[in-house]
Amino acid sequence: MTKLALVYIYDHIRKHNLPVKIVMTVHDQIDTITTIEYADEWKPIMTELMEKAAKAVVINGLLKADTQITTKWSK
């Protein structure tokens, strides 16, 4: 599911030439970086793409993405 989400996110970034970079993944977490100006616009897009990947695997739609905006990495 995480690998599928990475594909969706990567394709979306490339298709729309967005100021976003995928930094790393840890278990089911995907970290991206973008500009402060674009962060609020990027958050719902990333959430939607991650939940799209979840629905492809768990079709009942119960898995939801918890997307957060931070200025530094956190645990």
Q: Is residue 15 part of a domain?
A: yes
19 assigned to some structural domain? yes
Number of compact structural domains in the chain: 1
For residue 64, tell me if it sits in a domain.
no
Determine the structural domain holding residue 42 and report its residue range.
Answer: 2-57
Residue 46 in any domain: the answer is: yes
**How far, in Å, CA of 10 to CA of 4, rounded?**
10
3-62 residue pLDDT tens: 999 999 999 999 999 999 999 999 999 999 999 999 999 999 999 999 999 999 998 988
Amino acid 38: pLDDT: 97
β pairing state of 29-34 and 20-26: antiparallel
pTM of the model: 0.92
Answer whether residue 67 is part of any domain.
Answer: no
Q: Hey, which residues does 34 pair with through a beta bridge?
A: 20
Phi, psi of 29 (to 5 degrees): -105, 135
| Residue 7 domain flag | yes
For residue 72, tell me if it sits in a domain. Answer: no
